[in-house]
Amino acid sequence: MDITIENILLTGSLLLLASVLAGKTSYKYGIPTLILFLVVGMLAGTDGLGIEFDDPQIAQFIGIVSLNFILFSGGLETNWQSIKPILWQGISLSTVGVLFTATLMGSFIWLITDLTIYEGLLLGAIVSSTDAAAVFSILRSKNLALKNNLRPTLELESGSNDPMAYVLTIAFLGLVINQDLGILSIIPLFLQQMILGGLCGFLFGKVNKFIINKIELGFEGLYPVLVIALMFITFSATDAIGGNGFLAVYLAAVYLGNQNIIHKKTILKLFDGLAWLMQIILFLTLGLLVYPSHVLPFVGVGILISLFLILIARPISVFLSLIPFKMKPRRRFYISWVGLRGAVPIVFATYPLLAGIDKADMIFNTVFFISLTSVIIQGTSLPIVAKWLSVALPQKEKSKSPVDLLLSEDAKTAMAEIEIPHNGYVVGKKIVDIQFPKSTIIAMISRNNQFITPSGTTLLEAKDILMILSDSHEGLDQVYEILHIKK
């Protein structure tokens, strides 16, 4: 069946519905949700129901757009206070760890296949990063909570290692196309991509915050649209000057997620939903692109490469990249086990297809098989391995993240009414410009015998009575200090 203008909406909506229902079923039985999305796409494809889709360029475009939303949403939900203690561990895993994985995988693939060393390194680079969509969706489910900063470590790694894998993929692809170039030629590209990407991410984060808080749109629903536009500007502008757009988008989102911005709750909720939508669309698209009959010839070599990645390359890379840090072996082993590969490697595998290199089909189908087996084997066993290694929190010890608390509709435990004095410190200031504790909100403002529902743009006036809700009495004490009012 050809996808036409007349049936694309019906076909797309039916596939989305099937994916959502499959996701609900998979959650109940412990099967990784993203696998079901991929399977739905494969069943609907040419070897299944007959939907013909064979355009790697469109698939790559959808992949890049989807990764922007997934990385940005993950960045917004990354709490700086949580990742600060493990920042350097995460950076080491997402850079040195990815390099070790790509090198080990490339060497092994070169030894057991007829690929050249550069082609092997290209395949190794494509599967060298953990998948943000897979890790975020599984770790943030209600069934898994981890001890000792393991969760923020894994989320930081998965959210920040795609840029490194992208740089290595582009670099080794260049070596495959231009055999005369030496291996050292990738160093300038790496430095340019990572340095410019990091600087642009921080710069755009600050600029985006200024724009969001200063612009007066008038409608709350327009602010998420504004953030989407700023996200794509961040990616495109960084990419245009030779920086890594994925890294810039993630860092800009981390910065914004840890600042006071207008309508933050609305923005977080929308991006959470959009991230899920983009994950579904991405996996459906990649499922449609894959011909299961083309994958079967590579099952044997795919199993060998998958086992080497899961049992040897990933553990060695994790242990080597974490040598400078004090960490118990069982925690290192669990980090190595959460080496989920998913949609990102498949998206990166479209680059050789578009470049037209000789072994592009083999690389693409092998990468697909590796990603599939990784999510099935590792994704289904994460809770079991966490309990086996004693890194899982008991049910009663599970706690909500700061983002969960922000999005929660639960009532607070402490409340106070605070009146702003005539010459008060915050008179004339916007609420968004006042550094309130994250667990504290202004539920309502009484002004001139009228009640106002506040937003980030609300200017505080003298004699305003603020109804403050907080998760703790300590939070209320902090509010008094911030307002410069004696309790």
pLDDT tens digits along 339-386:
888 778 888 989 998 988 888 889 988 988 888 888 888 877 887 888
**pLDDT score at 313:** 94
Query: What span, in angstroms and rounded, lies between the C-alpha atoms of 149 and 325?
Result: 14
Q: Are residues 39 and 62 in the same domain?
A: yes
Whole-number pLDDT of residue 241: 94
Nearest in space to 170 (alpha carbons), one of 192, 158, 186, 157: 186
CA distances from 107 to 118, 302, 308, 318 (A): 9, 15, 11, 17
Which tokens hold the place of 209?
A: 């915050």
- Reported as type and span, the H/E element at residue 419 is strand 414-419
Residues 282, 148, single domain; the answer is yes
Contact between residue 175 and residue 186 where contact means Cβ atoms under 8 Å apart = yes
Number of other residues whose CB lies within 10 A of the CB of residue 218: 7
Listed in sequence order, the DSSP H helices in 290-328 are: 292-295, 299-308, 314-321
Residues 376 and 465 in one domain: no
Q: What is the CATH number of the domain that holds 233?
A: 1.20.1530.20
| pLDDT tens profile 296-329 | 888 888 899 999 999 999 999 999 999 999 888 8
Predicted pLDDT at 17: 78
Environment class of 106 (CB within 10 Å of its CB; exposed 0-12, middle 13-18, buried 19+): buried
Confirm if 170 and 126 have CB atoms less than 8 A apart.
no
User: Dihedral of CA 7/8/13/19: which sign?
Assistant: positive
Asked whether the beta carbons of 244 and 194 are under 8 A apart, the reply is: yes
Counted domains in the chain:
2
**Residue 219 lies inside a defined structural domain of this protein:** yes
Q: For the chain, how many residues are written? A: 487
Q: What is the pLDDT of residue 123?
A: 94
Strand order in the sheet with 440-447: 414-419, 465-470, 440-447, 450-452
For residue 225, CA distances in Å to 230, 274, 297, 458 come to 9, 12, 45, 20
Low-confidence ranges of the chain (pLDDT < 50): 1, 29-30, 142, 396-399, 401-403, 405-407, 409-411
d(CA 56, CA 304): 26
Burial environment of residue 64 by CB neighbours within 10 A (0 to 12, 13 to 18, 19 or more):
middle
Q: What is the CATH number of the domain that holds 443?
A: 3.30.70.1450
Whether residue 229 sits in one domain with residue 125: yes
Give the Cα separation of 184 and 18 in Å (integer): 48
Specify whether 332 is located in the same domain as 419: no
Residue pair 472/411 in contact (Cβ under 8 Å)? The answer is no
Examine the domain organization and report whether 456 and 333 are in the same domain: no
In this structure, are 393 and 415 located in the same domain? no
At 202 the pLDDT is 94
Within this chain, do residues 227 and 317 fall inside the same structural domain, yes or no?
yes
Last residue of a domain, one of 365, 397, 429: 397
What is the rounded (10 degree) CA torsion for 333, 337, 341, 344? Answer: -50
Q: Has residue 2 been placed in a domain?
A: no
Which domain does 449 fall in, by range? 411-483
d(CA 326, CA 28): 37
In a domain, 69, yes or no: yes
Beta strands in 223-283 (DSSP E): none
Does 311 map to a domain? yes
* Identity of residue 380: T
What integer pLDDT is reported at residue 410 of this predicted model?
A: 47
Q: Say which DSSP state 46 is in.
A: T
| Measured distance CA(21)–CA(160) in Å, rounded | 30
Give me the phi and psi of 106, to 5 degrees please: -60, -40
Q: Would 15 be classed as within a structural domain? A: yes
Strand partners, 459: 430
Q: How far apart are CA 212 and CA 227, in angstroms?
A: 8
Residues 209 and 295: their CA atoms lie apart, in Å, by 46
Looking at the fold, whether 277 and 156 belong to one and the same domain comes out as yes
Which residues are CB-neighbours of 154 under 8 A, at least 6 positions away? Answer: 130, 135, 139, 146, 335, 338
Same domain for 332 and 439? no
* Cα angle 283, 288, 289; round to 5: 95
402 is a domain residue: no
Domain finish residue from 397, 427, 453: 397
φ, ψ of residue 240 to 5 degrees: the values are -65, -30
Domain membership of residue 379 (yes or no) is yes
Both 195 and 305 in one domain: the answer is yes
135 CB contacts (<8 Å, ≥6 apart)? 154, 155, 158, 338, 340
Domain closes at, from 362, 397, 432: 397
Is residue 373 domain-shared with residue 418, that is, in the same domain?
no
Its pTM surpasses 0.75: yes
Contacting residues for 178 by C-beta, under 8 A, at least 6 apart = none
User: What is the H or E stretch that residue 286 is in?
Assistant: helix 264-289
| 406 is a domain residue | no
Per the rule left: phi > 0, alpha: psi between -120 and 50, beta: everything else, 43 is alpha
Torsion of CA 100, 338, 360, 181, to 10 degrees: -20
